[in-house]
Amino acid sequence: MHERAMRFRMPGRDVIGPVFLIGLLFAGYVKGTAAFAWLPVDLTTVAAAVTVLVVVLAFLRRLSAPRNAALVVLLWLSFVPASLFHGPASPFHDANPYAGEKVLKLWTLTLLAALAPFFVVDTPRRRMVSAWTVVGFGLTCTATAILFPDPLQSWRLVAEGSNTIAIGRAAGAACLVLAILGFFVRRRSLRVVLFVGALGMAAAVVESGSRGPLFAAAVAFLLVGCSRLDGTSSRRARIVAVLAMFPFALWWMSRDAGLAAERILRVVQGGAGDDVSVGARLHLIGGALRTAGQHPAGVGWGSLVDYLRPSEVLDDRWTQYPHNLLVEVLAEAGVVCALAVVAFLAVSAWRLRRCCRSRDGAIWSGLTLFFVLNAMVSGDINDNRPMFAAVAITLTIEVARRREVRSGPPVWPREGHTPADADVTPSASGAGRPAPGAGTETPARPGVIPAARRAS
């Protein structure tokens, strides 16, 4: 009754909050396509405003901090020194526009994405709504790129750009959700539909040429598919089916003569060293590690460009980051912040082992692995706010405690009494019972009144 009353006070909360939270993460990908570029409003700003409203209403109803939300607060507190060193409020602020924008987004959109799941996506139903919203954004990005191609860039890869990155991340996440959800479906026809949809999303990732999302989705699918999942088919059959997908995928990509499949196969075959994109990122990672060794306390968010060599700087001028979240935090925020990020991810990884069995837990465990692995090869800290949101969602999943089975006679917790041999009646004849009136009384279980006492 109390649950129904709470839902009636805030109608649509199970849908509105999760949908707009995922919109905060993926709306920028949709806005970057040619089909929605004409919109006069920023979809990310609209999604953020609605998410803030839902979070405030949820906080006013509970008037308490959610469980595990302190981990996010502590992590962001470690970002304060790097934010002030070259942030908008710093007296050392120079003409670097990327630094100011990076700090602003870090403390607004990215922080909101990391905290909102504790208020918005805190039940299994809301987690499933969020998962289906991820699928919706993946389908939207893929469909709009095919139906409304960019005049300068078709959906088949021509050059690296925001459209291909959007398709890779959104379609890769949608592919993973559909594939994992297929394990929990009992109807064979619906299971076939889900796996066919996952293959379609995987084909979109391949044609976009996004190698990071493709390999991240493959690793996450492998780990989740081979783990123990409650309510699914035989684990051995599932492992065989999962492992059989990879030789088929390699054979299928080898038949594709496109540039996108060629780039992916080049990485698989170990020939990525001659790739221009991979070489540039390796130069940035080397420069960031050298900077971190010279400045253990960090150089400030967005200020890596001031310490790079001319051969390491890309054509994006101020926007220079090593495309690796840990290396980026180590160079710009320092060793302490890097250790805080590692600890934050380690806590999430430890929980994934125990919350992966249920349907919503398996889906968001897979998405967490997907976004964490993708953050190691793509984007800066604000581009990877889906990773912070996915980690926060896994922290909202209740993990069942393991019960230890003790050998020997039962122990009654209230009295702390272990029954002895004389206390147990071996037969109906009364052998082994104390004689009536002998001054001894058979101990009763807690809360049970002996028959002699009830008779008196």
Encode pLDDT of 285-335 as tens digits: 999 999 999 999 999 898 888 888 887 777 767 788 899 999 999 999 999
Over residues 376-391, the mean pLDDT reads 93
Print burial letters for 317-354: b (CB count within 10 Å at least 16), e (below 16).
ebbbbbbbbebbbbbbbbeebbebbeebbeebeebbee
Of 9-13, 127-131, 167-171, 373-377, the least confident: 9-13
pLDDT band of residue 51 (cuts 50, 70, 90) is: very high
Encode pLDDT of 184-215 as tens digits: 888 889 989 998 999 888 888 887 777 888 88
Q: Per the structure block, which two tokens stand in for 400? A: 């069942």
pLDDT band of residue 267 (cuts 50, 70, 90) is: low
How far is 142 from 31, CA to CA, in rounded Å?
Answer: 13
Please determine, for residue 370, whether its predicted confidence score (pLDDT) is greater than 50.
yes
C-alpha dihedral, 252 to 257 to 262 to 266, nearest 10°: 70
Q: Where are the alpha helices (DSSP H) in 63-110?
A: 69-77, 80-85, 97-105
How far is 154 from 254, CA to CA, in rounded Å?
Answer: 21
pLDDT of residue 332: 93
The end-to-end CA distance of the chain, in Å, is 43
pTM of this prediction? Answer: 0.80
Please determine, for residue 429, whether its predicted confidence score (pLDDT) is greater than 70.
no
The residue type of 215 is F
pLDDT band of residue 225 (cuts 50, 70, 90) is: confident
pLDDT band of residue 271 (cuts 50, 70, 90) is: low
Over residues 399-416, the mean pLDDT reads 49
The residue type of 274 is D
Output phi, psi for 393, to 5 deg. -65, -40
pLDDT band of residue 4 (cuts 50, 70, 90) is: very low
